[in-house]
Structure 1
Amino acid sequence: MAIPLSADRLVSALRAEGCTVHEVPGWRDHNRNHRGAWGPVHGVMVHHTVTGPGTDVVGLIYNGHSVLPGPLATGCITKDGVVHLTANGRANHAGGGDGAVLQAVIDESYGDRPPAPQKHDGSPGAVDGNARFYGWECENEGDGRDPWPRVQYDAIVRATAAICRAHGWGPKSGIGHLEWSDWKPDPRGFAMKDFRAAVAERLAHEPGWNPGEEDDVALTDADIEKIARKVLTLDGVIVNAVNDPNNTHIALASSARNIETIVRRVEAKVIGLGAPTVSDAQVTALAAAIAADSALADRIAEKVAVKLAARLAN
């Protein structure tokens, strides 16, 4: 039996996995627990929102609509990769589904996919999925043509892995709505088999792992000093790494797990070189400075920029 995560534990798990989390005001007390059970929980269900540009998709998932009251999921994962938390408890996302699928998820006993569902909401013998699954509503038109940006797909993988890791579950605890109900097609646009493989790869590493991050730890003291001296020479220069949409170093890879350590080493070195303090603006400026140095840029520029932008944004 798995007891649902508390709000604090959920937030901590998501952030440890490298997710960018937005706590929608009121989400900690927002749920449908008055309408039925919440728990024991056994898995995470992935959906698409069937929404296009111009929709307040986070508001929709939080509030629901005239036919189905909110919250409509644990969270809404938007195309920019932000995990917007919209519910702490039961939410109207899974509906009724197949008990054989639930048992296969509990046992993690299936192969590439759970047994084909034979039930749906309202059918005889359907199981209440809202009590058993966390839910991610993921912003997408759901027509099979609307793309899934890499940053969004990565966030869905991370968010699912975060919950699985917190509960001690494996990747087969993550399923799509189409694998739960014979009425549902979502998520459309990627294969759940491949999605579970990505979750499995993440679970095989420490929380917050990023592909290729092992190379990042090879920065030498000479590298750090070189960066630090660049920061000193940029005293008083502010590079707007947060608001410049054309800064490709911001738009590329997500930050490496150890990048905060690298930044702290740079700051410490700057102080050791004679600067009494180092501002966020100075350290942010290093993102642009090292971009001009190919040897350093190839190794850390984009990761440093992403991390520093996140720090400033917060």
Structure 2
Amino acid sequence: MRLLWLADVLRSAGLTVHEVGGWRSRGSTSFDPHGIMCHETRGSLRSTDAGEIHVLLNGSATAPPPIAQLYLSRTGHWHVIASGRCNHVRVGWAGPFKGVGNSGLVGIEAQHALGEPWTERQYESYVRGVRALRDRTGWGIAGHKEHQPAGYGHPSVKTDPSFNMNQFRRDVAAASSGGENIMPALSDQEQEQLLKYAKDVNYILWQGAQKPDGSGRTDIRQHFYNIEGMLTEVKANQMTMLGKDWVNEQEIIDGVLSGLGSKDLDDAATALRAAFGDRIAELAAKLAAP
């Protein structure tokens, strides 16, 4: 899969977008994303866009190229790097996308140094860009530090991005939503619980059933793709059935007479009593009625 709509979606959100040459064919097509991963580059305070993008295009000591689909400059401008799979995460051992790797996640690298304050311009652009992607896809959002945290015995621990991811998700939910954001009306504990439920549902839907070794995944998404079409078909069938007379008395009579043939009526009566059981008296009364 290739996400050839990336630049258009970001522009439609009113953001400044630069397309890096060759991005439409860059990255592997072995790519079926269902989540957004937020990063920061952790370069120097004097890093340039050209230098950061060079690394994303050519790789680093720990990651082969391309490294991420999207790059966010300190200026708040977005740069589209690739449309296919990139190499920005390990298979996660925690967080909303536990068990998911590069094939299932879009990576955003924001130009940012360790300890550097986030400017309002860059943070707002980050929020608006992720909101635009989420509006287009409905995908969940996670931070690299949630995906590869310390405390699990893994060597590749991450601590980016430096901002609070729960607050970031709330800001994304509130950005240009066109409606009232209910999250601030909930307590911190209620918000955390709601987010936990959302993460659990997201994990179940997107991971599906799989063996302990991670193989044999059943992608539950396939059961949701055509749900609108199926519901439309059900509604059409209901409309067809409305008012239909499901009992055709003449067919019943013809069937009984055909089955009797030239049989003796005593034999027929015995067969009917056996078939109707306790309801034979009810049948007799109806037959005797004028």
Question: Matches of residues 94-243 of structure 1 in structure 2 within 5 Å?
Answer: 94-98=89-93, 101-102=96-97, 127-141=99-113, 143=114, 145-169=115-139, 173-182=140-149, 183-188=157-162, 190-202=163-175, 204-205=177-178
Matches of 1:99 and 1:66 in 2, distance apart? 24
1:44 to 36, 44, 47: 36
What do residues 221-272 of structure 1 show as CA deviations (whole Å, max 9, x unaligned)?
xxxxxxxxxxxxxxxxxxxxxxxxxxxxxxxxxxxxxxxxxxxxxxxxxxxx
CA-to-partner distance for each residue in 1:70-106, whole Å, 9 max, x for gaps?
111111101000111111110011221037732xxxx
User: How many angstroms apart in 1 are the aligned matches of 2:42 and 2:106?
Assistant: 19
- In structure 2, the gaps of 5 or more residues are 150-156, 180-290
Q: How do 1:252-291 and structure 2 match up within 5 A? A: none
Aligned pair partner of 2:74 in 79, 97, 104: 79
Maintained 8 Å contact 1:62/1:70: yes
1:100 to 1:46, Cα distance in 2 relative to 1, 3 A: closer
Do the aligned partners of 1:45 and 1:136 also contact (CA within 8 Å) in 2?
yes
Give 1:59's aligned residue. 54
Which residue of the partner structure matches residue 6 of structure 1?
Answer: 3
% identity of equivalent residues: 33
Post-superposition offset of 1:203: 5.2
CA–CA separation in structure 1 for the residues paired with 2:135 and 2:37: 15
Structure 1 residue 5: Cα displacement: 6.2
Tell me the number of residue pairs that the alignment of Structure 1 and Structure 2 aligns: 169
Q: Residue 46 of structure 1 aligns to which amino acid in structure 2? A: C
TM-score by length of 2: 0.54
User: Distance between the aligned counterparts of 2:9 and 2:123, measured in 1?
Assistant: 18
In 2: Cα distance, 1:100 partner to 1:166 partner: 22
Indicate which of 20, 26, 32 corresponds to 1:24.
Answer: 20
Which 5+ residue runs of structure 1 have no aligned equivalent? 103-116, 118-126, 207-314
C-alpha RMSD of the superposition: 2.0
Q: Give the structure with higher Rg (CA).
A: 2
